[in-house]
Structure 1
Amino acid sequence: MSTPMRHGPSQQGRTPSQHPTTAPTPQASTPFSTTQAAAALSPHGPRSSPQQLKKSPATGTLAPGIMSSQPGNPPLNFDSPSAAAALGGLGLDINLDSLNVGGLVGGANRSDEDDRKKRMDAVIAGLWAFDTGRVSNDGLERLAVQLGFECLWETVVIGSENDKVLVIAGRTMAVEVSIKNHVVYHASLTFNEPSPSLDKHVEKASAILFKDLALGPGESQLTKKLSKFRANLDRLAILDRLSITPGLNCHEAVAGIWESLEKLHRWDVERLREDPALSDRSEENLRVLALCSRHGCPLMHTRGRVGLTLEYWKQYRKYKSTTVEGEKGKTWGILIDCAPANSMVYTPVRVSDKWIGPSIVKTDPIDDEVMSATGPILDWLEPPNTLLPPTEETKSEGGLESTTTTLSVPKPLDFVFMATFDPPIVVTHGVAMEIYKISAFNAPLSGSTFDNLLFPVTEGANYDPSEPRVMSFTQTVPVWTDVHKLSEKPVLKAHRNTLLVDKPVYGQVVTHVPISHPKDLIAMLPLLRQYAFLSLLLANSFKPRDGRPLLPEPNTSSEGTSSIRTTDRDFEDFMSKNRGEISPEHIKVDIVLSAHPIPRLQLVFPFRQTTAMINLEIQLDGKVHIVSDNIFSELEIEVPQSKGKGKLLTRRQFAQKLEDCENIDMWVEFIKLKLE
């Protein structure tokens, strides 16, 4: 099957074939063609359109703005003062500012019409983005053309006359969609030039694109939207538009980064396998551990998204049932794409799969002392710059006989690698500066506070960023009275959590940064994990959870309710079938948040006959450190025989339990169970 290829970039713009002089006649089976839809939405039609030749009911002449061919009977024109006076005299409520009446509205001129046209075009573009349409022959073609692709319909030789293949072609790639009666039954992604780094991932990408278009359970032709397919096709389109043939394939540049990061990830897993304490862990468990504690895990075409993602944090990471690409729990990652450099000064995109040495770490004996103090020194490499090939330039001076042809020098690319955080990470102002310093990015800073970015203030509520902030939330926590009888039905205790932000600090939502090398991302990971884990702890204590029982706030209605997610899927299934009774007593847990210079949490809750107070630090890589307390009086706490077989627990082990359960309320109940 032939696949149309796009031509290389031209200084003359699109070819005449891409700008037809006459609009194509819509097919009979196409009630909503592209031409008709554009005409219906366009606010600026041809000036000689039939709709403009209507008679005015007030004057019996041509409508305002239409030039009459009869002399002596001048038309009423919006640009004349007499027109405005006549309209005003008729009592018509017309906003002259919105109509841009020439000569009456101060400073109005032809440029106002152009501005209005641009604004309306932006509105129409926004409508297209809001409603991508449904999966159909015409819907797919409209979407592809809108994203800058060329389309070609081919009829299937074997099959009914309704079987067709839509080829969506770009400069470097093509997507083939097989469709019958507006139902997609196959989709595949292909690249124009063979590339081992791309070909190994093409099946996963094709499967995602097909899933976006195929009818799923409970879906029909009337409900199947193009939204997911549009998002993935748009990612492919961005890389395709930035690619230059020959010279640069942005898809290959991104795949080359995956090659090096995957090599580093495999090396991390091998080092973890050498740890005797992890001998019972499966390969998948080790990959999750490397994802969250080492150098992340690069994934191509995962979680329904086409492209490269470097995942660095995952909820429930300590549980054996958690897998790298599993859907259980929330995941934090970094999308890696290409983007125009514009006015930014950065190292441009380089196409290479050798960003790190074959040995991963440096083996120079001079570095041995440094390696023992700070960990392994990675052997990062600097690939050569990718340059565009020289092009011929023809100059003519005074006539054809003086025409000369010269070759331009190779020039660097005007594109950079762009890292997009998914989800965007909320950090303090100082940490944002550290992240931007790593990538040399000058980003505008927000004027909001860190706590307001984590927990936005309700609209209309009184909020002073310079004053302490207090917010409360009530949720349920499963509790057992005996650690040896976990099979029994637990009691659901209600925790009344109160968050106090004593000293608000400025915060920032980091959405994206340009990078010049994968090592820039690796340098950010400890900071990103620190604030990802902090946000997870606070969300588990102060945000509702889907599918959990609700509890009313004390002396209020049912606002601010939730339930804690349990520690493992087996226990969740058990809880759904054997829900314990909810204790009427509310346990008060006060949490004081201090975000500068390092995130700290002070926990205050009832313990024995007094009040427990624990000060925690959330350190780099999401590590928990107990700074001070009034219940762990010794370095080692002997747990009573009846509650834990006389096992000795250290402060570090208690801190480890909070890292494991990722939940302050469950950790409080664990402490009370062990020590009370």
Structure 2
Amino acid sequence: MSTPMRHGPSQQGRTPSQHPAAAPTPQASTPFSNSQAAAAALSPHGPRSSPQQLKKSPAAGTLPSGAISSQSGNPPLNFDSPSAAAALGGLGLDINLDSLGVGGLVGGANRSDEDDRKKRMDTVIAALWNFDTGRVSNDGLERLAVFLGLECLWETAGTGSENDKILIIAGRTMGIEVHIKNHVVYHASLTFNEPSPMLDKHVEKASAILFKDLALGPGESQLTKKLSKFRTNLERLATLDRLSTIPGLNCHEAVAGLWESLEKLHRWDVEKLREDPALNDKSEDNLRVWALCSRHGCPLVHTTGRVGLTLAYWKQYRQFPWNTVEHETGKTWGILIDCAPANSMVYTPVRVSDKWIDPNIVKTNPTDDEVMSTPGPILDWLEPPNTLLPHTEVSKSEGELDSVALSVPKPVEIAFMATFDPPVVVTHGVAMEIYKISAFNAPLSGSTFDNLLFPVKDGVNYDPSEPRIMTVTQTVPVWTDRSKLRSELPILKAHRNTLIVDKPVYGHVVTHVPISHPKELVAMLPLLRQYAFLSLLLSNCFKPRDDLPRFPEPNTPNTSNGSSSSIHTTNRDLGDLMSRTKDDNSPESLKIDVVLSAHPIPRLQVVFPFKEATAMINIEIQLNGKIHIVSDNIFSALEIEAPQSKGKHAPLTRKILAEKLEACEDIDKWVEFIKLQLEA
């Protein structure tokens, strides 16, 4: 558990303990307290009943002197257990725990033991859930389908061979046919039980993915072909199938309806970008990537080996001409959209519709308030009608209901669930903004933002209330002559990068949120892009990679708080040129310091040697991943533009330098670009 930080709220915003949503809720019972609560509470041999154990409780210090007697003749009542408190209440003992000064014991005195038990249980569940699904075979396919709650039926194929069979995996709404001969799959197809135009248009893409997951690929054999990829996709299909209610609700169709509206919005974004003269040279694929990262995202269904709907909103190498929305090179940030049972959360039920936004996309007559409060286009979102289920008949043993009650449809107890892939690390305040958009009340972590981005290694002395320093060495390709950038081979140079976190702030990992409308996802995108790009910049600068040769680490001890030592290499944006680089074998490392400030807006101060002095550039990562140079000491105090470069090159401005960093996505290469262009 992290040590509470010493900085005040003015430095780091409201901490989880200060926010109402983050306060722990006292629990009335444990999972094991229902059947033996009274006996465990009153037995002197029950768990944690000794005075010594009570003395060791973290909450025992709240007891006033003499509040509880621990004489040998009277076995002590153990108020340290939530089950004991529940049992005493059930026995009619009117004991005011707060008057005894032990109110804190009921909620969290035995929190550490319960947390340990929960962790062990989660480990067991994870081990059972993530069991080895085995290899592709007749028995392996059947076991997996049954495990996911689907029905299986074997049929003999038309060839007449006993080893040539068809496995039909059936659910409420869909079925999968797998043709397998001698434990080798040669055909797989997905079908839906009821015809649906929204589903049928994507079924071939889904079938192709399922078949690729099962068929033997290059270099694979029957002994090595695993079911792991097929299981991931089948599990998503099975979840939507299990939550569907026929007739009335098809969760597959509900998700497909979201794609219809998001795709209309994406196509409109691309058309508007095509009207921009600055983007005339961009291809259709480039415009789609541009819309993905700067507009309203790009909905992808059954792509990149994944069955289901994903709203992609950020992509690595987004400004490179060879990149496309479905290009698997580089990292893509997206939001998986599925359905989930409502359980106890506050939610708006799933609605099956493809009309979430007006065909015109934007409002023709927006109000003055909308114009003032919305910086971009004012989208004309629609509210589809509620999806209701017909009331089912009840048995007479449950009681007679009149005809009016039976005719009233019931609401759907299913909600749309958005899962962030990958999860996004944000500050505490930003997490609250995201959860406020979706009306989701989620527990917040007590860890720091930097520790979530760069976890401290085991055994390292780490105090979250103190500044943190982390140093790594990475290899960077460097050009020495700007006139030969296209012809000259780069040399490999070592950078000694140091990350300094002066004022740690609380952070949170956003994993999933329930949503009621796609407009909620669109409202989150600017914040998500801001922190996705921040994490990309920091990862490229401070996380190790293996695509370039490594320089030896300096043989100097590093005792910085939370420090680590590793090699970090650059991104794969130089293509085959990387394999033809020259090595200058220089032992000198360029020292770059990056000071991270995450509250209230993420900022990076980049410090590096420049000419005969030290350059200091303060950059701000704004919404939608835009870079703004706040201040620097490279430019003249009286001029906005940089000194005129030699030759025919245009002068460098702060705006151009910011765009260069957005394009290269790498602080090390950005620094080398500045030194190459501006150093005499």
- TM-score, with normalisation over the residues of structure 1? 0.79
Aligned residue number for residue 438 of structure 2: 439
Partner of 2:463: 464
| Partners of 1:593 and 1:600 within 8 A in 2 | yes
The 8 Å contact of residues 395 and 405 in structure 1, kept in 2 or not, is answered as no
Matched, 1:669 2:680: no
1:326-341 aligned within 5 A: 326-341=327-342
Does residue 659 of the first structure (1) align with residue 665 of the second (2)? Answer: no
Match of 1:299 in 2: 300
Distance across 1 between alignment mates of 2:442 and 2:187: 43
Which residue is equivalent to 2:646?
641
Q: What is the rounded CA distance, in whole Å, between the counterparts of 2:123 and 2:455 in structure 1?
A: 29
Give CA deviations for 1:441-470 in whole Å, capped at 9, x if unaligned: 110111100000000000010000000000
CA distance in 2, matches of 1:500, 1:232: 42
Counterpart code for 2:577: F
**SS of the counterpart of 2:586?**
strand
**Residues 579, 470 of structure 1: alpha-carbon distance in 2 compared, 3 angstrom cutoff:** same
The separation in 2 between residues aligned to 1:369 and 1:172, in whole angstroms, is: 42
How far apart are the structure 1 equivalents of 2:634 and 2:403? 84
Equivalent position amino acid for 2:661 in 1:
L
Q: Given residue 647 of structure 1, which amino acid in structure 2 is its aligned partner?
A: A
Work out whether residues 366 and 378 of structure 2, in 8 Å CA contact, stay in contact via their aligned partners in 1: no
Give the letter aligned to residue 321 of structure 1: W
Instruction: Tell me how far 1:298 sits from its aligned partner.
Output: 0.1
Is the 1:393–1:405 contact (alpha carbons within 8 Å) kept by the matching residues of 2? no
Conserved? CA contact 2:346–2:440, under 8 Å: no
Q: Superposed, which structure 2 residues align to 1:234-383 within 5 Å? A: 234-364=235-365, 366=367, 370=371, 374-383=375-384
What are the equivalent positions in structure 2 for 1:106-145 lying under 5 Å apart? Answer: 123=124, 126-127=127-128, 129-145=130-146
Q: Which deviations, in whole Å up to 9, do the C-alpha atoms of 1:322-361 show, x marking residues without a partner?
A: 1110012100000000000011121100000000001000
1:533 aligned partner? 533
What per-residue deviation string (whole Å, max 9, x for no partner) do you get for residues 221-266 of structure 1?
1111111111111100100000000000000000000000000000
Residue of structure 1 in register with 2:224 after alignment: 223
Displacement of 1:637 in angstroms is 1.8
User: Using the alignment, how far apart are the partners of 1:342 and 1:588 within structure 2?
Assistant: 53
Query: How many Å separate the matches in 1 of 2:642 and 2:349?
Result: 56
Q: Which has the higher contact order (CA 8 A, sep 6+)?
A: 2
**Structure 1 residue 562: Cα displacement:** 2.4
C-alpha distance in 1 between matches for 2:373 and 2:454: 42
In structure 2, C-alpha distance between the alignment counterparts of 1:267 and 1:518, rounded to whole Å? 16
Task: State the SS of the aligned residue for 1:649.
Answer: coil
Cα gap change, 1:243 to 1:559, in 2 (>3 Å) = same
Deviation at 1:650, TM superposition (A): 1.5
1:424 partnered with 2:423: yes
Letter in 2 for 1:626: I
Tell me how far apart the structure 2 counterparts of residues 635 and 360 of structure 1 sit (CA, whole Å): 39
Aligned residues of 1:150 and 1:169 also touching (Cα < 8 A): yes
| Structure 2: gaps spanning 5 or more residues | 1-116, 558-563
SS in structure 2 opposite 1:544?
coil
Aligned counterparts of 2:326 and 2:420: Cα–Cα separation in 1: 18
Gaps of 5+ in 1: 1-115
1:397 to 1:183, Cα distance in 2 relative to 1, 3 A = closer
Taking a change above 3 Å as real, the CA distance of residues 470 and 404 of structure 1, as seen in their structure-2 partners, is closer
Q: Which residue of 2 aligns with 1:158?
A: 159
Residue identity opposite 2:623 in structure 1: L
CA shift, 1:375, in A, is 1.9
Deviations 1:146-196 (A, max 9, x none): 100000001012352211000000000001100000011111100000001
Shift of 1:408: 4.0
Computing the radius of gyration over CA atoms, which structure comes out larger, 1 or 2? 1
| 1:32-83 deviation digits (Å, cap 9, x = unpaired) | xxxxxxxxxxxxxxxxxxxxxxxxxxxxxxxxxxxxxxxxxxxxxxxxxxxx
SS at 2:189 equivalent: strand
| Contact persistence 1:602–1:613 (CA under 8 A) | yes
Partner of 1:613: 616
The answer (yes or no) to whether the contact 1:396–1:403 under 8 Å persists in 2 is no
Matched residues in 1 for 2:274 and 2:603: separation? Answer: 33
Q: How does 1:38-53 map to 2 (within 5 A)?
A: none
Contact 1:638 1:646 in 2 (8 A): no
Deviation at 1:544, TM superposition (A): 0.9
In the alignment, the residues of structure 2 paired with residue 369 and residue 122 of structure 1 have an alpha-carbon distance, to the nearest angstrom, of 49
Deviation of residue 440 (structure 1)?
Answer: 0.5
Q: How far apart, in 2, do the equivalents of 1:598 and 1:403 lie?
A: 58
Counterpart of 1:560 (choices 550, 560, 566) is 566
- In structure 1, the residue matched to 2:91 is none
1:494 and 1:582 in contact (8 A); partners too: no
C-alpha distance in 2 between matches for 1:649 and 1:547:
31
RMSD, matched Cα: 2.3
CA distance in 2, matches of 1:620, 1:244: 40
Partner in structure 2 of residue 75 of structure 1: none
CA distance in 1, matches of 2:593, 2:398: 82
1: CA distance, partners of 2:163 / 2:510: 49
Going from structure 1 to structure 2, the CA distance change for 1:125 and 1:372 (only over 3 Å counts) comes to closer
1:598-633 CA-to-partner distances (Å, cap 9, x unmatched) read 001011100000000011110000011111110022
Whether the aligned pair in 2 keeps the contact of 1:397 and 1:403 (CA below 8 Å) is no
Offset at 1:577?
Answer: 2.9
Report the CA distance between 1:636 and its aligned residue: 1.5
Aligned pair count?
A: 551
Residues 102-148 of structure 1 deviation map (CA, whole Å, 9 limit, x = unaligned): xxxxxxxxxxxxxx9xx999958834622111110011001101100
Instruction: State the distance in 2 between where 1:548 and 1:163 align.
Output: 49
Counterpart in 2 of 1:92? none
SS at structure 2 position matched to 1:464: coil
1:479 equivalent in structure 2: 478
SS at match of 1:353: coil
Letter of the structure 1 residue corresponding to residue 655 of structure 2 = R
Q: Which moved more, 1:363-372 or 1:273-282?
A: 363-372
Partners of 2:309 and 2:370 lie apart in 1 by 35
Structure 1 equivalent of residue 511 of structure 2: 511
Alpha-carbon deviation of 1:366?
4.5
Aligned-pair distance for 1:370? 1.3
Amino-acid identity (%): 78
Q: Distance in 1 between matches of 2:182 and 2:123?
A: 33
Kept in 1, the 8 Å contact 2:163–2:181? The answer is yes
Query: Normalised by the size of structure 2, how large is the TM-score?
Result: 0.78
- Provide the rounded CA distance (Å) in 2 between the counterparts of 1:128 and 1:427: 29
Give the distance between the partners of 2:398 and 2:457, measured in 1 at CA.
Answer: 69
1:549 is displaced (CA, Å) by 1.6
Contact 1:392 1:405 in 2 (8 A): no
Indicate conservation of the 8 Å contact 1:551/1:562, yes or no.
no
Contact 1:144–1:168 at 8 Å: present in 2 too? yes
Tell me, yes or no, if the aligned pair for 1:549 and 1:562 is still in contact at 8 Å. Answer: no
Q: What is the CA–CA distance in structure 1 between the aligned matches of 2:471 and 2:126, rounded to whole Å?
A: 42
- In structure 2, C-alpha distance between the alignment counterparts of 1:129 and 1:397, rounded to whole Å: 40
Against the structure 1 CA distance between its residues 556 and 181, is the aligned structure 2 distance closer, same or farther, given a 3 Å change threshold?
farther
- State which of 593, 599, 620 in structure 1 corresponds to 2:602: 599
Is the Cα–Cα contact under 8 Å of residues 635 and 643 in structure 2 kept in the other structure?
Answer: no
In structure 1, distance between residues paired with 2:432 and 2:122: 37
C-alpha separation between the residues in 1 aligned to 2:227 and 2:397?
A: 51
Is contact 1:393-1:408 (8 Å) kept? no
> Which residue number corresponds to residue 188 of structure 1?
189
C-alpha distance after superposition, 1:256-305 (max 9, x if no partner): 00000000000000000000111111000000000000000000011111
Cα gap change, 1:337 to 1:128, in 2 (>3 Å):
closer
CA distance in 2: counterparts of 1:607 and 1:312, whole angstroms: 36
Which 10-residue stretch deviates more, 356-365 or 369-378?
Answer: 369-378
> C-alpha offsets along residues 625-661 of structure 1, whole Å, 9 cap, x if unaligned?
111110022211233224xx24122211111100000
